[in-house]
């Protein structure tokens, strides 16, 4: 597990438990032991099981956890995703933190699966973005993969994307070419992507060397089709901007290679899951 994820888990536990679970301490006998099940109240796709297990371990290393449905698996209402056995107090103390992670991450995976299904039968990848919950990026992007989506860049460090504000601050095409060459020389292997807001920009960027892909931002379906013809397979093409679950199929039919959707992470609804004690 990545150190940042473990730190997030510990912060979440500290936030919820603080100096102790006063309810369980006073109302549950210390010797009581129970079985807990995490049960789905609606359909979805699992994500976050490793985190759920880690939360239980942090609360009480003696809790026994059995994962019944792993990450990426679909489920229906009343499905049991996980079973845990141990001290009743510990199970109840872990309940909300476990559910917060599982509900949020399974919501991202479920949202992603809907978009992935909507582009079929077109061979288009559904990409996430950097529009993630601060501190949760690794987890939310992993959840996107559980839903069948594809991770775009993880951060500002692993993929150069020259967007509209970069162009506005340094609009010269000659300077853009010089900077691409310098990046290629100093950071070989780093992908270079340029954002194009018009077909004229697409034409201009096709004259440059060292570009891997274009982001076609807020273009209409007809403009995307024309851009695909202009590029003719020379560069990878990503479409983005205002594409919804209702419209993504039409955008997928244009011939672009990928469609990025911020809503996979920034607008995913937490699923209705519950922990039942027996």
Catalytic positions, written as ranges: 96, 131, 163, 195, 217
d(CA 207, CA 209): 7
Contact yes or no for 150/125 (Cβ under 8 A): yes
Q: Closest Cα partner for 270 from 86, 41, 95, 83? A: 41
In the numeric block, which tokens belong to residue 46?
A: 């699992």
Half-sphere exposure of 165 (CA within 13 A, CB side): 0
Angle at Cα 261 formed by Cα 192 and Cα 151, nearest 5°?
55
Residue 56 · residue 85 · CB < 8 Å: no
Among 126, 138, 124, 100, which residue's Cα sits nearest to residue 6?
Answer: 138
Cα 234 to the chain's mean position, in Å? Answer: 28
CA distances from 90 to 10, 31, 275 (A): 15, 11, 13
Residue 182 structure tokens:
């310098």
Strands 273-277 and 213-217: unpaired
């Amino acid at each position: 597990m990545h150190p940042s994820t473990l730190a997030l888990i510990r912060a979440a536990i500290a936030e919820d438990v603080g100096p102790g679970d006063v309810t369980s301490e006073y109302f549950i006998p210390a010797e009581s032991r129970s079985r807990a099940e995490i049960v789905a109240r609606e359909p979805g796709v699992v994500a976050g099981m490793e985190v759920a297990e880690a939360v239980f371990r942090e609360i009480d290393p003696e809790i026994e956890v059995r994962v019944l449905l792993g990450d990426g698996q679909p489920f229906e209402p009343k499905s049991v995703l996980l079973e845990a056995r141990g001290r009743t107090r510990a199970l109840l103390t872990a309940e909300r933190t476990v559910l917060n992670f599982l509900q949020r991450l399974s919501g991202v995976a479920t949202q992603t699966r809907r978009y992935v299904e909507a582009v079929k039968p077109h061979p288009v990848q559904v990409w996430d973005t950097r529009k993630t919950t601060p501190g949760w990026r690794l987890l939310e992007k992993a959840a996107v993969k559980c839903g069948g989506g594809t991770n775009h860049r993880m951060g500002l460090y692993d993929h150069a994307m020259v967007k509209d504000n970069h162009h506005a601050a340094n609009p010269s095409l000659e300077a853009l070419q010089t900077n691409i060459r310098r990046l290629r020389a100093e950071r070989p292997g780093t992908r270079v992507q340029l954002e194009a807001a018009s077909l004229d920009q697409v034409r201009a960027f096709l004259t440059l060397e060292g570009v891997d892909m274009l982001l076609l931002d807020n273009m209409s379906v007809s403009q995307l089709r024309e851009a695909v013809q202009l590029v003719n397979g020379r560069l990878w093409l990503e479409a983005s901007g205002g594409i919804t679950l209702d419209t993504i199929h039409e955008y997928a039919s244009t011939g672009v290679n990928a469609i990025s959707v911020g809503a996979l992470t920034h607008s995913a609804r937490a699923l209705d899951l519950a922990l039942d004690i027996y």
